Structure 1
Amino acid sequence: MTSPPQRPDLAAMLAPLLRETAAAELPVLEEHGLTMWGYSVLVALDRSSMRTQAALAEAIRADKTRIIPTLDELQAQGYIERRPDPDDRRVRLLAITESGRAVKDAAQTAIQRGEDRWLSKLSPTDRDAFLRALQQLTDAQP
């Protein structure tokens, strides 16, 4: 006979927090004129510019055809550039612009300031350990 689990499942612990943090991000993103997908695109492009649309979709785990309207909107706002790949003119290379980086940085700063509501419940040592562990789990994703 097996003993009962000693802790809740990860999804059971993370899901309520993820719902709350995502809900808290929406007004911040709206204030900066961004959607959640738009913000995700800018964050990904800021980490690694000049991605193809297909590589970007894979990086943010979105369907490549569904992000096209988001890319159109970000380009119209002047937040990204799309250029033909000189090696394959059917492919578009993406890059974040300086204004895209500025709006991403402003939104990210405001979002992280809001996250302090949850993180402040941890001691500084626990907070650092939590963020480090979360980063390791994120980096370990295929």
Structure 2
Amino acid sequence: MPRRNGIQAAAPADIEAPLRSRHDLHWLAMRLFRGIAALDHETVRQHGLTVLGYEVLVEIAGRPDRAQADLAATLGLGKTALGEVLGELEAAGFVCRHRDPGDRRMRIVRATDSGVAAMTAAAAQLQRNEDEMFFGISRADREVFFAVLQKVSAGPLKERTLSTLRNERLRRPRAG
């Protein structure tokens, strides 16, 4: 194989096999994530939501009358980011916010009937999407797949957020 700038180039045979097999976890997970993300985005958009708005609405509907600060902590969002999402949901009529009578500094969030209706309709379509994605895969294999995903996501990577990974990348010494 020819050298360029003193570096030996890889032979096509050296890189062909990995490209053909594509069995590495990162590639498979990213392919799955991108496909699901695109489909989820389109689905929730049809119901007047964003993916993050949908997730926030699901959390609110599951525990009504929550303090906005508690909601931010549960979702792992900053107060400003959550405030923006809640503003969008409130403008759409999907949530309402009011001051906590016990502590005027706190804001309480509740899903409206139209918010619950939009969330329920989006959830039904998301489930249909999932059923289509798993068409031809047995219920048993599907349950194993979900069980493994839950174990992996609850393992050592649970606390590793994207911002943590970005910070580590910034601290890494640069080569050369």
TM range (shorter): 0.7 to 0.9
Query: Among 36, 60, 83, which residue is 2:75 paired with?
Result: 60
Length-normalised TM-score, structure 2: 0.66
Query: Which amino acid counterpart does residue 35 of structure 2 have in structure 1?
Result: E
Please tell me the residue identity of whatever aligns with 2:114.
Answer: S
Task: State the shift of 1:133 in Å.
Answer: 4.4
Larger of the two Rg values belongs to structure: 2
Shift in CA distance, 129/41, structure 1 to aligned 2, threshold 3 Å: same
Q: What is residue 111 of structure 2 aligned with on the other side?
A: 96
State the shift of 1:60 in Å. Answer: 2.1
| CA deviations over 1:39-76 (Å, ceiling 9, x no partner) | 11111112212222222122222221012122112112
Q: 1:36 to 1:128 in 2, by over 3 A?
A: same
Shift of 1:34: 0.7
Output the amino acid matched with 1:80.
V
Structure 1 Cα separation of the partners of residues 60 and 154 of structure 2 = 17
- Tell me the number of residue pairs that the alignment of Structure 1 and Structure 2 aligns: 135
RMSD: 2.2
Q: Which residue of 2 aligns with 1:129?
A: 144
The aligned amino acid for 1:38 is G
Q: Does 1:27 align with 2:47?
A: no
The normalised TM-score by structure 1 is: 0.80
RCO higher in structure (CA 8 A, sep ≥6): 1
Does 2:102 align with 1:113? no
1:76 aligned to 2:82? no
Give 1:119's aligned amino acid: F
Structure 2: 5+ residue stretches without partners:
1-22, 160-176
* Counterpart-to-counterpart distance in 2, 1:45 and 1:122: 33
Distance 2:154 2:117 in 1: 25
Instruction: Give 2:163's aligned residue.
Output: none
Match of 2:13 in 1: none
Q: Unaligned stretches of 5+ in structure 1? A: 1-6
Distance apart, 1:87 and its partner CA: 1.7
